[in-house]
Amino acid sequence: MLLLFFLGLSLAQHDHSQHGHGSPMPQGRMSPVQVRLVSGWVRQVPSSLRDTTAYFVLQNPTDADLRLIGGESPVAQGVMLMEDHRENRAGQVVQGMREVKALVLPKGGRLELKPGGKHLMLMGLKRPLKEGERIPIRLFFEGSREARIELRVERR
């Protein structure tokens, strides 16, 4: 099972390198969007790995749905919205990841990114991340809106 996870990660790296490591940065001026970071963390990985994952819970205090469409971080070449998935192929369970175009943060509700589900991939790390350091991430939402969060690197 662990081998299949790393195979999925390797395939995700290969596929995403063709797309420039994630969603392009939105053009033009961005306006802040009101969201609240409830909790979150970035997975510490061995220095030999170039990608890692970020998990968090966002709360939407507004009266409109928000669509998360991408992000960026100064520690990575790209940030991608991903989800884990499983499927049966010829009687074999294949586990992997796939890119998603948007994640909905419902009005008055929460969006949870967690291991085994939806998450952010920080692709092409520019340097090894240290346990305890705080990683800034800009989240891009439809309508030229953004939110800025910081997540702590943790060994889990």
Between residues 18 and 90, the one the model is more confident about: 90
Most confident of 12-16, 37-41, 81-85: 37-41
Q: What is the pLDDT of residues 40-94, one digit of tens each?
A: 999 999 999 999 999 999 999 999 999 999 999 999 999 999 999 888 888 888 8
Average pLDDT of the chain to the nearest whole number: 86
Q: How many CB atoms are located within 10 Å of the residue 77 CB?
A: 18
Residue type, 13: Q
The model carries a pTM of 0.81
> For the structural domain made of 2-154, what CATH number should be given?
2.60.40.1890
Backbone angles phi, psi at 11, to 5 degrees: -65, -40
| Domain range summary for the chain, segments of one domain joined by + | 2-154
Question: Which value, to the nearest 10 degrees, does the dihedral of the CA atoms of residues 41, 155, 95, 37 take?
Answer: -10
